[in-house]
A and B are shown apart, each in its own frame.
Chain A
């Protein structure tokens, strides 16, 4: 079992729709969870982080964490073509500052 698994893509949604990205993890000791967006040829950009169970909202983005079920998700409301990118789920556990990444989900928002 992979340490971090993301829902297989690519994911295609129409402009204005809600995009839902999911991620499960195997290490119950994981403490911090992150969503990064990466445009082609660019470096990952942090868009959300969540440390406690529940929802965290920031503008059009909502991160959801459920430690009991070992999943974290990202919702993007009112999706825009500029949201088209690869979304990476990552976590930090007990191994100091190491980030463990999922394989990424490619999101395409079409006009």
Chain B
């Protein structure tokens, strides 16, 4: 069974640009959640989708958005990038709401 796949693995963007990250969950998993990991803040929750509906959102500005498609694949978008957005962005998939979550390899975003 294939794991969670995130693309791209690495990105370098300039301040003010926007970026879209992609996540394909484990087959059969309908819940996809996104996290930002930085050395100073640790792992912070961005948002969670289930059956194409955002059910929960973390404390991030509106520049961070996401969506989920009917095949459960998810994308997150960050607009007007800031230097502080440089981080490892992780996607996790779960079969159900409270079951175990499995992470993808992450996308390392660097904003210059």
Contact = CB atoms under 8 A, between A and B. Distances in A.
Interface stretch (B12-20, B50-58, B79-87): B50-58
A102 B99 CA distance: 18
Interface stretch (A15-23, A38-46, A53-61, A69-77): A38-46
Interface string A66-108: 0000000000000000000000101010011111111110000
Contacts, number: 63
Given A98-B45, A99-B35, A99-B92, A32 B98 contact: yes
A43 B90 contact: yes
A99 B97 contact: no
Contacts of B92: 99
B43 A88 contact: yes
Contact of A45 (B43, B48, B94, B103): B103
B50 A97 contact: yes
Contacts of B78: none
A104 B42 contact: yes
Given A97-B33, A97-B56, A43 B103 contact: yes
B8 to A, nearest CB: 14
B105 interface: yes
B106 interface: yes
Contacts of A31: 98
15 contacts: A42-B105, A43-B104, A44-B43, A44-B90, A92-B101, A96-B50, A96-B97, A97-B55, A97-B94, A97-B98, A98-B56, A99-B33, A100-B45, A101-B43, A103-B42
Interface of A: 31-32, 34, 36, 42-46, 49, 51, 88, 90, 92, 95-104
